Amino acid sequence: MRYLVVLEATQPPTPPPAELMAGIMALGEEATRAGALLDNAGLAPSAAGARLTVTGDAGLRVTDGPFAESKEMISYALYETTTKAEAVEWTSRFMRLHAELWPGWEGEARVLKVFGPEDFGPDGTPQG
């Protein structure tokens, strides 16, 4: 099963410490060697993006960033794991690094299941 992890954070009070970056690199290498981490990258601030909205009365609306949310999506990771618990464990280790090595940093991660062929029945309807 594939899981997309999206990391959101408020504007950090300081740049990331070197120890945190080293820890993130080591964890990423471990997850890659284990076959769990398929892809990851940082995301540019929302000022570089756009939001597309469809509503019944107004149709399609495109809004250029930045957006008003206090938290920005700052990175993502795509994992291939056998269970959701395994994806949550990799994400927990990543978040613990931030908590332990970056005083004052605040953020949250969402672990989202990516649909695969195994999630649909023969008629194309989602299963379970």
**Tens place of pLDDT for every residue, the chain, 128 residues?**
999 999 999 877 788 999 999 999 999 999 999 999 999 999 998 999 999 999 988 899 999 999 887 789 999 999 999 999 999 999 999 999 999 999 889 999 999 999 988 888 888 888 86
Instruction: Give all domains of the chain, ordered by start, each with its CATH number.
Output: 2-119 (3.30.70.1060)
Write the DSSP assignment of 6-40 as a string of letters.
EEEEPPPSSPPPHHHHHHHHHHHHHHHHTT-EEEE
Task: Provide the terminal-to-terminal Cα distance of the chain, rounded to the nearest Å.
Answer: 14
Which helix (DSSP H) or strand (DSSP E) does residue 74 occupy?
strand 72-80
List, in sequence order, every residue forming a beta bridge with 112; answer none if it has no partner. Answer: 4
Structure pTM? 0.88
